[in-house]
Amino acid sequence: MASGFVQVGDTGNVAGNAYAYPKTWGADYVAAGEVRFALWAPGEKTVALRLDGTDTEMSPAADGWFELLATGIAPGAQYNFVLADGLVVPDPASRAQISSVNGPSLVVDPTAYGWEHDWKGRPWEEAVIYELHIGTFTEEGTFRAAIGKLPYLADLGITMIEVMPVAQFGGERGWGYDGVLLYAPHSAYGLPDDFKAFIDAAHHHGISVVLDLVLNHFGPEGNYLPRLAPDFFHKDRVTPWGAGIAYDVDPARRYIMECALYWLEEYRLDGLRFDAIDQIDDPSDTHILVELAEHIRAEITDRPIHLTTEDCRNVTFLHPRNEDGTPPLFTAEWNDDFHNAAHVLATGETHAYYGDFADHPARLVARILAEGFAYQGEVSPQTGKSRGTDSTGQPPVAFVDFIQNHDQTGNRAKGERLLTLSGEARTKTLFASLLLSPHMPLLFMGEEFGETNPFLFFTDFHGDLAKAVREGRAREFEGHADHADESVPDPNARSTFDASKLDWKKRDGSSGSGWLDLTKTLIALRQNHIVPLIARAAASNGHILATAPGFFAVRWSLPGGTLSMAVNLGKEKQPLPDMPGKILWSSRPHQAEMLDLDAIVVTLDNETSTGGIA
């Protein structure tokens, strides 16, 4: 059937999409073979649609929109927008790219993929989160290759995968936090149906999938929005990574709102992690984050949706709970305080932001585990400003803890993992504390088998942009201990990317097998004994029992039982406080009243969960 064109009126007045939630931006299927193309380009007088090599002028609509309704369009058709001066640009809301961020966009039929599994999701309290980067998780670095690792993760007990950002970014290699086409899976990883197949397969293995979404800025390469729509960005608002988005401008707000819902509905994801929300500055009466969370909760009711945030402010107002314990807005917060305090405790490093945790780090870890955050309004030595708010009223499931992730590992000059920095005994002790606390645990890919390959910062830029990134990365570490600028790997070198890939051979060695046994045992203990205690926990209910240099002990009074934990990473054995109940886990034989170095003991009283205590 030959394609045809029909000029349409104002955006939003077209008949509703029969296949998915209607989108304002981009190429939206409204019926089989019928596609509505829409672009907000108030900076342009004319715009043409180039579809499979043929240019057709688009119809101007109200408020700077251009639209065209095309019929007889087959999935996979290539298109661009052509501006008045001849500049050819991709669709800012492209659902897929043929290759690079600057190349043609592809028409995608959202109904083309045949879902095999009627997935109903998993409750949040069961989550053991596994953060992975598609490009370095396997040798091939694709969605399809990652499917082959899902049985392994399911056997370990992983119940949730958090995929680092996949929105199309400049070049083939990158972390994904410089995405510019926020609706398109990165072409180097595969097509939309490949990502859907990965999610579908994960659901088959009982694993939820959440996506890390960056809605606070656009990357430096391939972003044509400043030309198309200058008002998409605030003129006087700049984030650390680029121009601030004008969330109070209706078309920009729609782009962001619809982007989040698009990923959840069209890809059947189980949730989203929102990156650096402290950089989302919205002067609207209802903040876009609040409206977004409320909209998602109202729109998707057929399965649990888990929404987590990253926010250096240590706020709690975005994470309230209903009377039944369900979150009306966001589910949980990435708890950088736990990582930072634990890192100082394990390594003794106090440079940069670790300086905030240099004073009595064991005491700070204890406070975090008992109450939520280390900083609850205290002054940060690094900034000289107060940070945080009272977090004692938050349930333990409102905090996502980790001892490693992409950020703190990759933002080191040499990308060292904690195992390299602090050794096996100390790392395993912290690993056990992570998985056996009532907070929600996140593992970074490879952590489960003791991976020591670094995770470096890598990009695939060229020319002046590559030079700026390379030099900026070197300057970033000037003055840091052991971080001389000549030792910083070039982010644009292919070798930097290759060095960051997991070494799966280590998994099958004796050390890897030992780590895997430990991981599997700890996750099973968590699911059998701790998950039943935290499902109904309304507040942290933690109490610090004791602290000393390198040592802390905490007790949680939870519905159905009392959980206690003591950890010693100090230089001396420490007396154990009263820890009622049976031993749930002990890292090594210990005297009844003293805890050895680099050791942990966890006890549980009033056992009500399934299975026996180890």
Q: Which of 154, 161, 158 is nearest to 204 (CA)?
A: 154
Pure H helices in 267-405: 288-299, 336-347, 361-371
> 391-423 burial string, b = 16+ CB within 10 Å, else e?
beebbbbbbbbbbbbbbbbbbbbebbbbbbbbe
**C-alpha distances out from residue 128 to 206, 305, 440, 522, Å:** 12, 15, 7, 11
Instruction: Name the β-bridge partners of 226.
Output: none
Contact 34, 71 (CB under 8 A): yes
Is residue 482 annotated as part of the catalytic site, yes or no? no
Main-chain dihedrals φ then ψ at residue 306, nearest 5 degrees: -110, 120
User: From the CA atom positions of the chain, what is the Rg in Å?
Assistant: 25
Contact 8, 59 (CB under 8 A): yes
State the Cα angle at 472 between 466 and 475, rounded to 5°: 145
Provide the angle, in degrees to the nearest 10, between the axes of the packed helices 288-299 and 250-266: 40
Contacts of 465 (CB under 8 A, 6+ apart): 170, 220, 221
In angstroms, the CA 204 to CA 89 distance is: 39
In angstroms, the CA 101 to CA 182 distance is: 11
In order, the DSSP letters of 76-90 are T-EEEEEETTS-EE-
Among candidate residues 275, 333, 371, 596, the one labeled active-site is 275
**C-alpha distances out from residue 41 to 9, 26, 58, 482, 527, Å:** 15, 12, 11, 48, 51
Provide the angle, in degrees to the nearest 10, between the axes of the packed helices 361-371 and 336-347: 150
Go through the chain and tell me how many residues it has. 614
Q: Which of 369, 363, 372, 365 is nearest to 392 (CA)?
A: 372
Contact 364, 380 (CB under 8 A): no
Contact 197, 178 (CB under 8 A): no
Is residue 572 annotated as part of the catalytic site, yes or no? no
Helix (H, G, I), strand (E, B) or coil at 47: strand
Helix (H, G, I), strand (E, B) or coil at 322: coil
Token digits of residue 7? 């000029």
Contact 414, 474 (CB under 8 A): no
Contacts of 365 (CB under 8 A, 6+ apart): 338, 341, 342, 345, 374, 552, 567
Q: Compute CA 446 distance to the chain's CA centroid, rounded to the nearest angstrom.
A: 17
Instruction: Name the β-bridge partners of 443.
Output: 130
Helix (H, G, I), strand (E, B) or coil at 587: coil
Among candidate residues 126, 258, 310, 416, the one labeled active-site is 310
Catalytic (active-site) positions = 275, 310
